[in-house]
Amino acid sequence: MTSLAKDYYKLNAGSDLSAGAIERNDTPPTRLLQRQIDRGFRSLRFMPELEPAFRAYLRVSGQFSRASLVAFALLGVLTSAFIDVAWLNLPPDLWLPTRLIQFGAMVPMGLVCIFLCLRQPATRAMDVGVLLLFVTVSAGLLAQRVVDSKLGFELPLELVGVSAIAMLCLSRIPFWAQVPVLLGVGLVTAWVELTAVALMSASHYDLFATGLLFLAALVAGYASEHTIRWTWLNATLLHYVSRLDRLTGLLNRHALEDVLEDGQAHARREQIDYALVILDVDAFGAYNNHYGHQRGDRALQRVADVLADHARRPMDVCGRYGGEEFVLLWMGCDAESARAMANALCAAIEKERIEHHRSPTADHITASVGLCHVSAAHAHTPLELVLREADRMLYTAKSAGRNRMCHTCYDDNSRPFQPPQA
């Protein structure tokens, strides 16, 4: 498959979004996505071709959510330093140990997470930091409860359960990565409450209520990720359907025009050569009339596969321009290399040996190719002119008998509108 637009869903093999699993797979993305929708994902796990792409999306799209979670935790700890005396009547003897727990462990861990949010917001380090923040906050709350209980002061145990709900709903960390941490904290909470806290009349009720909050956190975390996965699948499928040609899996004309503009702008900005190719399947109307449209569709798919194989570099572009006409953009190639690649492309299509007894050129499908190479010094040439020259070369190739490549150049030695070379 060829690369799409430069956004979260482009799923480009060269992308740092780790979404290349789809692009590197020979199955068209639309089929993979639809297959996953049909299968379902109750286990909160996609097929291997899709899971890395979703994980990358989850990490990138959850930056604001995780930042909110960290801010919420830090604000809660700082606020509690004021309200535990004013509203909860914290005894003076507990001020010092409580402040040591709050400002010696909980606040520093929150600051570390804020640093990660600013420096590495979409990395696994941020995931680890958020999980450690949850463990630190929970440990701090339990430590306060143990210390406070010695003097008869009862810190609400439910705060640990509220922290669990916040983490499962806002962290955007994969559900199954959070479950072991949540269960570990839950078991430690129960152990501390039953062994280290001086039991009060409402202690068992507090433990029961906190257990319900942990259960609610699990349900909310599962439901949240299931919804996110469902939304991602459908949004990504819609994106591909709107940008890919349904028959061939290549870029459709609308998306192709956008990406060609981007490629030409990149060549102009970076001052590099590029080549634009327009390819037409010879006598394809006669093929459809003789073999039928279903075989015609399969033939176009095989031709499209060949084209995709010849546009695998990160900046190369390949798409269906309309009917049996295709366009390729090769970046960073000189004129000689472009001509060699175009000839190799024609040879590769012939090598498929797709039967075509109504062709005037051979007993199998062939293609005519128009090539326009643009040197770095002329990369500012409008794309419209380059397309027109490639199309003119295609017309020349067809007029000369089809099954051939004709080319022209925008460079310092030759200009378009000179007699083309076959």
Span 312-348, pLDDT tens digits: 888 899 999 999 999 999 999 999 999 999 999 999 9
What is the rounded CA–CA span in Å between residue 107 and residue 121? 19
Whether residue 85 has pLDDT greater than 80: no
CA distances from 170 to 59, 61, 165 (A): 12, 12, 8
Residue type at 321?
Answer: Y
**pTM: predicted TM-score of the whole model, two decimal places:** 0.69
pLDDT(420) > 50: no
Is 60 exceeded by the pLDDT of residue 8? no
pLDDT of residue 414: 64
> Around Cβ 417, how many Cβ atoms within 10 Å?
9
Which residues, other chains included, contact 177 with Cβ-Cβ below 8 Å and sequence gap of 6+? 127, 131
What one-character DSSP code corresponds to residue 277?
E
- Residue range 100-106: mean pLDDT, rounded: 90
Q: What is the pLDDT of residue 161?
A: 94
pLDDT of res. 120: 81
**CATH homologous superfamily of 253-410:** Reverse transcriptase/Diguanylate cyclase domain (3.30.70.270)
Predicted confidence at residue 199, as pLDDT, reads 55
Beta bridge partners of 355: 364
Average pLDDT of the chain is 86
pLDDT of 351 above 80:
yes
Give per-residue pLDDT as tens, 221-265.
Answer: 999 999 999 999 999 988 888 888 888 889 999 999 999 999 999
Characterize 318-339 residue by residue with b for buried, 16 or more Cβ atoms within 10 angstroms of its Cβ, and e for exposed. bbbbeebbbbbbbbbbebeebb
DSSP, collapsed to helix, strand or coil, labels residue 384 as helix
H or E segment to which residue 276 belongs: strand 274-281
Nearest to 371 by CA among 402, 398, 338: 338
Work out the average pLDDT over 362-381: 94
Nearest Cα neighbor of 188 from 251, 141, 235 is 141
More confident residue, 23 or 7: 23
Picking from 13, 154, 10, the residue whose alpha carbon sits closest to that of residue 91 is 154
Packing angle, helices 124-149 and 63-86, rounded to 10: 20
Structure tokens at 72: 């919420």
Residue type, position 148, single letter:
D
What H or E segment, with its residue span, contains residue 269?
Answer: helix 253-270
- Report how far residue 371's alpha carbon sits from residue 379's, in angstroms, rounded to the nearest whole number: 15
The secondary structure element, H or E, covering residue 368 is strand 367-374
CA atoms lying within 13 Å on the CB side of residue 137 = 33
Q: In percent, how much of the chain has pLDDT > 70?
A: 89
